Every structure is written in structure tokens, then in C-alpha cells.
Amino acid sequence: MSWLERLKDHMAKLPPPVPKPELQVQVFQNDGPVTVCTISTTQLGELAGIHLPSQLLKNLGIQPFAQTKNGCFWDVEDIPLVFLKLSTHFANKAREELEKS
């Protein structure tokens, strides 16, 4: 049995991965209940490709949709705004560093 076949057998015996946390909340508006999909800070960081502390997002003026004992959850519809504010933040940081040298 080759190492690839052994690896496939080993992987087949492993339990399926645990789903990442996602919070779906029903919000009541004038038209009735609306389900809001959220994303965790960890998932948001994975999308951005960086470690993303929730405090950084809060400092940039982005408020979480919900906060639980497990962490902060952000409205999925806010992802473009989050990335825009992060890019502006990092561009300003880069400008500051360039001015130092």
C-alpha cells in the first residue's frame, strides 16, 4: 500500500470537520421578521487573509451585530464596508511609515 493510499485511508477514518460558528438572528422590522446572516471575527480574518482582532474593527467604527461569550459576529452585508475601512487604515499606516524614512 502506497503512502497516498494510507493517507486516504487515514483521512477517511477521521470525523468530519466541526462547522465554523455562524449566528443567524431573526430581527423584527416593520415588514415582519428578517433573518440576518452573520460571520465570526475568525471567519472575517480568514477572508481578509490576516489575523483580525475584533477590537481593531471596533476602533475603526464598525460595531458587531452581536456579541456572545464565544466572540463577536458581524453582519455579512457589512463585509465590503469592513474591507474598505481596513484598506484605508492600512494605507494610512503605510503612508505614516513612508514619511518616517
Reported pTM: 0.65
At 5 the pLDDT is 86
At 19 the pLDDT is 55
d(CA 53, CA 93): 17
Q: Over 90: is that where the pLDDT of 4 sits?
A: no
pLDDT in tens, 11-50: 788 776 655 555 555 555 666 676 778 888 998 998 888 9
d(CA 22, CA 41): 10
d(CA 92, CA 58): 17
pLDDT in tens, 40-80: 899 899 888 899 999 999 999 999 988 988 889 998 889 99
At 26 the pLDDT is 55
